[in-house]
Chains A and B, each alone.
Chain A
Amino acid sequence: MHRAEMIMAIALMALSSVFMIMATDLPIGWVRGSGPGGGAFPFWLSAIMFVSAAFILIRELRKRLTRQQALRHFIDSVALLDIGLVVGALLITIGLMHVVGTYIALPLFLAFYLRVMGQHGWLLTAAIALITPVVVFLFFEVTLRILLPKGITEPLFYPLYAFFF
């Protein structure tokens, strides 16, 4: 917990430093007669963020830890595995949407999640993995006319477009 706290404070300080450097592209000072320039708001707020994060870091460094506090983990290994799998599956799914499109990526995600994470039976997994994309298609594409990314599977949808639109 203690180490995670310090890493987060340092990460926030680094992030705010990047913000500050980027904000200097526009004037960060006071423009005579009209108030602050375009970069002033992001710059000075990032500065406040930096100072507060630095305060958290210093406070954490000065903290005397009891043995119990020092041993407490940020996350236990079982939860870490669960969270890691979900995050991994999420990122792969979004990546797949670029390539093979929503209607391949979503069923794969659902199948993985329900089968591996949820340990549900194949029947339930297959039912949800197949029905969800159909509902998504009918709601977003047919009703709202919002086209979801299809990647290389785009040509497969031409007959459907012709039918619905």
Chain B
Amino acid sequence: MEMLAHLADGFALSLSPLNLMVITLGVTIGLFVGAMPGLGSVNGVAILLPLTFLVPPASAIMFLGALYYGAMYGGAISSILLGIPGASTAVATTFDGRPMAQQGKAGLALIAAAVGSFVGGTISVILFTLFAQPLADIALAFGPAEEFALVLLAFTTFVGLGGDDVAKTIVMIAFGLVLSTVGLDLISGQPRLIFFDLPGFYSGISFLVLAIGVYGIGEILWTLETTRGRAQVMTARIGVKDLWTGIKLLRHSLRTMTVGSLLGFFVGLLPAAGATPASLMSYGMAKTFSKKPETFGKGAIDGVVAPETANNAASTGSLMPMLTLGIPGSPTTALLLGGMVMWGLMPGPMLFIEEPDFVWGLISSLYTANAFAVIVNLALIPLFVYALRMPLSILAAMVIVLCIVGGYAPDQRLHDVWLIAAFGIGGYLLRKLHYPLAPLVLALVLGPLMEKAFRQALIAAQGDAMTFIERPLSATFLVVAGLFLLLPLAQAIRHRKTPTEPANGSAGA
């Protein structure tokens, strides 16, 4: 009951006129960002974060949360109408969304995607509401040793479950962590890694600079190369009658939606997984358990519902460890975490005690954002059809301008803008060679916490490294982390024993 009272207080905050406006705007921009091929939630959050200085921190986070949600809905629009996923999270939606559009059922596919997203979002927000406080309560007992072990565990999930090349993943994690140590040593206050003695490095490398570089500039370069030639936009018209038939048809998809929501939520909790693998897994599950698996890939409505439910559920799921433990569950939530730290709202269990208004305001805003997203999505379909015809060059030019100006704004140094350019070019080249970028960004965000926790724990134990093993929770985390590290090794051995087995390592990715 206490939870409902908290939630009611939260709604009082999130339903204020300013916040309602911010959420509507966030959802609409998110839908647009998600729908544009090449831009997903993480790009939208990275590029637009500097613009949120306009509103108070709580509203800024609600805006970004709404944008995150909107982008998950929006990804389906271009998957269905263009046949190109609007974001990686909507890849699985193209499998059946595109065939449906080709059969003239684009409207129905869009309704199915929107309703699926809504159900996925709603179920996962309810799970979030139920589990957030208990998880935060457990996390209250964490000391520096547990914090360190937990961050280490988060990184090892990339090695064990990330699905990318293990050596490249480790390079990226280490690289990100080293970048996070640039600046002043947090214990002794001495400067370290000041490249070329540039004064700009004394205050460290901001997560925002890396994120804008990699997800703004780098993404544009990547999109320039990959989407040459234009795909044909399918038109879709949705009337009230279509909506009604759509909803009636979707009654048969209830089980798919439930499975997709639960799967999405729990996969979303893991830092290395997230919305993209969750949607692919959900698609696979729906196909396996379908009575008519042969219709999948040829325009099965469940094939649209399954991934869309899961990716929305996963985005909510990844918010939970970020808010309660301070460990983000996805690159987008890593940026939200960085933003919150910048605004003095340190995520973690203490946030539930010190800033309950903010925490519950944010949680309640997710309900609002979810409801608005489905309405705005269906109402503005014609506008999105039009927007998808916008030439890439205009979008790219705008994004680059936003990256330059937005990268300058937080600290007002051109030094940061040069770094953004460097990270953009470097990130593009790394991505071309299949180096995963999410662990790099996550490592830069979590690096300071990891080092601080490690050294604080040791100082408290007078330099005795056994402290990490003697504390039961910390020891448990470390053992699980060790298992994740060994997982790729075990897989390699198994593959060597049965060489005829097809490589299906991506299933767990």
Residues of A whose CB lies within 8 Å of any CB of B are 4-5, 8, 12, 15-16, 19, 22-23, 25-26, 30-36, 38-39, 41-42, 45-46, 48-49, 52-53, 55-56, 59, 74-75, 78-79, 82-83, 86-87, 90-91, 93-94, 97-98, 102, 106, 109-110, 113-114, 117-120, 128, 132, 136, 139-140, 143-144, 146-149
- The answer to whether residues A90 and B421 also contact, given A26-B188, A49-B174 and a CB cut-off of 8 A, is yes
Interface of A is mostly: helix
- The 8 A CB mask of B183-200 against A (1 = contact, 0 = none) is 001011010111100000
Interface-located stretch among B97-105, B218-226, B268-276: B218-226
- Of chain B, the residue at the smallest CB distance from A55 is B167
Contact A148 B408 (CB under 8 A): yes
Q: Can you list 10 pairs linking A and B with CB atoms under 8 Å apart?
A: A23-B192, A23-B193, A35-B459, A35-B465, A42-B192, A53-B171, A93-B404, A113-B397, A144-B53, A149-B414
CA distance A34 to B174 in the complex (A): 23
Residues of B within 8 A of A53 (CB): 167, 171
Residues of B within 8 A of A42 (CB): 178, 181, 192-193
Residue of A30, A36, A41 near B177 (CB, 8 A) is A41
Residues of B within 8 A of A113 (CB): 393, 396-397, 400
The reply to whether the CB of B394 lies closer than 8 angstroms to some CB of chain A is yes
Contact B417 A94 (CB under 8 A): yes
Closest beta carbon of chain B to A87's beta carbon, Å: 6
Residue of A19, A117, A148 near B405 (CB, 8 A) is A148
Contact B171 A136 (CB under 8 A): no
Residues of A within 8 A of B177 (CB): 41, 45
Contact A94 B463 (CB under 8 A): no
Contact B192 A39 (CB under 8 A): yes
Closest beta carbon of chain B to A102's beta carbon, Å: 7
The residue in B217, B394, B462 that gathers the most chain A C-beta atoms within 10 A of its C-beta is B394
Contact B54 A143 (CB under 8 A): yes
CA distance A16 to B178 in the complex (A): 9
Residues of B within 8 A of A59 (CB): 167
Residues of A within 8 A of B394 (CB): 114, 118, 120, 128
- The answer to whether residues A120 and B54 also contact, given A35-B458, A110-B397 and a CB cut-off of 8 A, is no
Residues of B whose CB lies within 8 Å of any CB of A are 51, 53-54, 165, 167-168, 170-171, 174-175, 177-178, 181, 185, 187-188, 190, 192-195, 217, 220-221, 224-225, 228, 391, 393-394, 396-398, 400-401, 404-405, 408-409, 412, 414, 417-418, 421, 424-425, 428-430, 432-433, 435, 451, 454-455, 457-459, 462-463, 465
Known: A26-B190, A31-B463. 14 other contacts (CB 8 A): A12-B175, A30-B463, A36-B454, A39-B192, A45-B178, A45-B181, A46-B174, A49-B171, A52-B170, A83-B224, A86-B224, A94-B417, A148-B408, A148-B409
Closest beta carbon of chain B to A136's beta carbon, Å: 6
Contact A136 B401 (CB under 8 A): yes
Residue of A12, A35, A49 near B455 (CB, 8 A) is A35
Residues of B within 8 A of A149 (CB): 408, 414
Residues of B within 8 A of A140 (CB): 405, 409
Contact A56 B171 (CB under 8 A): yes
Contact A114 B393 (CB under 8 A): yes
CA distance A26 to B409 in the complex (A): 32
Which 4 pairs across A and B sit closest by C-beta, in order of nearness? A118-B393, A35-B458, A38-B185, A49-B174
- The answer to whether residues A74 and B188 also contact, given A42-B193, A83-B225, A110-B397 and a CB cut-off of 8 A, is no
Residues of A within 8 A of B51 (CB): 139
Contact A5 B225 (CB under 8 A): no
Residue of B54, B185, B193, B418 near A19 (CB, 8 A) is B193
Residue of A26, A46, A86 near B220 (CB, 8 A) is A86
CA distance A143 to B319 in the complex (A): 31
Residues of A within 8 A of B459 (CB): 34-35
CA distance A90 to B433 in the complex (A): 23
Residues of B within 8 A of A93 (CB): 404
